[in-house]
Structure 1
Amino acid sequence: MSKYYCLIAGLPDITLDDSRLTYSVADFRNELSDILTRKDKKLIDLFFLKFDNKNLISQLKNPDQEMDPRGSITYDESHALYQALKEEEAIPKNNRIPPYFTDFFRMYLESEAKGDAATISWEDRLAALYYAYAMKCGNQFVSDWFELNLNINNMLTAITCRKHGLDKSQYIVGNNNVAEALRTSNARDFGLGDDIEYLPALQHIAEESDLMLREKKIDTLKWNWLEEQTFFKTFDIESVFAYMLKLEMIERWVGLDKETGEKTFREIVGAMKKGSENALEEFKRNNEK
């Protein structure tokens, strides 16, 4: 296993409450390009697929929408795959496009053909495919990180559905043990009390009505998890990966202020998924009649 003594030793200390960045997450990626082994670089690339996911969803809504430069897959590349699947032609070879893009487009085209109204948003469907793909990366820490995010999003969704009387099984994504428990259990802790140590903290966070404060608490939970999981991996790729994740958290907060409003925060709050929000609004309207 590669060690990155000089890199880690030279990184400035950061905290979630930092109000300015030494460099962006994109700058950090560029710095790593000549330092990491090929195997470790693939783990970094795996993280940046989240921005390609964002671009893909944006392109489905509006092909002319500006793309997030942190993604690396171009519109032409993803559109070529989409068209090939739509026309049932040979899939173009492109090593930069992950296989779950193909699964997503097939799901999307099938839904279009049937005229199905999606209960789960397309953002969440793509995220579920992304998490499943990332959890097979071969690095236990990185795999656990993506599963942590899947679990947090699903648990907050289940709590929200329960609060508003919605069928939670219609909104949970993924197929791991936590997802299955959330779909089927009616227990207060969804039968996960002995398995998910952060569940009580998450239940408390779910009660927070201030979206900004709630998002900050979720990031704090994740930050503390990163600290604990890398405590004995100080100079390994796990610490490099964790530092990048922390940079991205700070970058989001530095780029947001109170004037961005609730709309912006709803876009980044994993718990309040888009599909769930629409259903909750419909639920409220029906109960006001």
Structure 2
Amino acid sequence: MANQYYLVSQLPDISAAGEKSTLPITEKYYRDLCSRFLDSESLAVLNQLSLEAPRTAVKTGSAFLDKWYEFERCLRYALCQVRAQKMKKDFGPIPVSCTQDIIQAARTAVGMDSPLSAEQFLFEYRINVLNDIQPLDSFSVDAVFAYGIRLMLVERMKKFDKEKGTDSYHKIYDTILGETI
């Protein structure tokens, strides 16, 4: 536990990272730093850390991550179901653990005019859920995992570029219509 105090004290604040500013830490550096302070069991869990939850619930050894992955799995199922309904297709049932809040967030995101707006909405929604379920003990190993999830979410959002996205969209659209340049 003492090592985690040293680890957490070295992790910079990423909560206020602006859209255009660079992050004070990368995921690679975060993982490297953690490898110096965490025990082998916690490090094995950290090495499996991902924004994509396993399709079926698997115990990770972390109460926080189990809760986070259940939320993420439900959100993705809800998004699939809402998209399928929009296309008048059957997706099947979503997990019983999906709350109305998650389903409503999926409906809101799918109903947005632009994919970028939907991604920004889902980013904010995920960050709010992360804030709600993160451990109260800032020096616990679960807090270190929560930091990693937050870092990956922020890094992912920083990769979105409106101009590149628009160009890519037009290229795909033109290819579908057979108007390849």
**TM-score, normalized by the shorter chain, greater than 0.5:** yes
* Whole-angstrom distance in 1 between the partners of 2:71 and 2:168: 23
TM-score by length of 1: 0.51
- The corresponding residue for 2:36 is 34
1:131·1:146 contact (CA, 8 Å) conserved in 2?
Answer: no
The yes-or-no answer on 1:211 pairing with 2:115 is yes
2:161 paired residue number = 257
Q: Distance in 2 between matches of 1:219 and 1:235?
A: 25
**Superposed displacement of residue 262, structure 1:** 5.3
Identity %: 22
Alignment match, 1:146: 69
Where 2:36 maps in the other structure, the secondary structure is: coil
The 1-side partners of 2:61 and 2:149 are apart by 18
Superposition pairs for residues 156-167 of structure 1, below 5 Å? 156-167=79-90
Aligned to 2:48: 46
1:163 positional shift: 1.6
Q: Quote the Cα distance in structure 2 between the aligned partners of 1:31 and 1:241.
A: 13
1:24 aligns with 2:14: no
Quote the Cα distance in structure 2 between the aligned partners of 1:162 and 1:255: 29
C-alpha distance in 1, partners of 2:36/2:86?
50
Equivalent-residue separation in structure 2 for 1:141 and 1:231 (angstroms): 7
Query: Given that residues 16 and 246 in structure 1 are in contact (C-alpha distance below 8 angstroms), is that contact kept between their aligned partners in structure 2?
Result: no
Paired with 2:72 and 2:133, the residues of 1 have a C-alpha distance of: 15
1:218/1:263 CA distance change after superposition, 3 Å: farther
Deviation for aligned residue 1:196: 4.4
CA displacement at 1:264 relative to structure 2: 6.7
Closer/same/farther in 2, CA of residues 228 and 263 from structure 1, 3 Å limit: farther
1:11 counterpart residue number: 11
TM-score, normalised to structure 2's length?
Answer: 0.78
Q: CA deviation at 1:260?
A: 2.2
Unpaired segments ≥5 residues, structure 1:
51-126, 173-177, 182-190, 266-280, 282-289
CA distance in 1, matches of 2:167, 2:62: 36
**C-alpha contact (below 8 Å) 2:42/2:141 kept by paired residues:** yes
Distance 2:149 2:168 in 1: 20
On the 8 A contact 1:159/1:206 being kept in 2, the answer is yes
Instruction: Describe the shift of the 1:153–1:263 C-alpha distance in structure 2 as closer, same or farther (beyond 3 A).
Output: farther
C-alpha distance in 1 between matches for 2:71 and 2:29: 26
Deviations 1:120-166 (A, max 9, x none): xxxxxxx77x3436x32232211121121111111011111112211
Map of 1:226 onto structure 2: 130
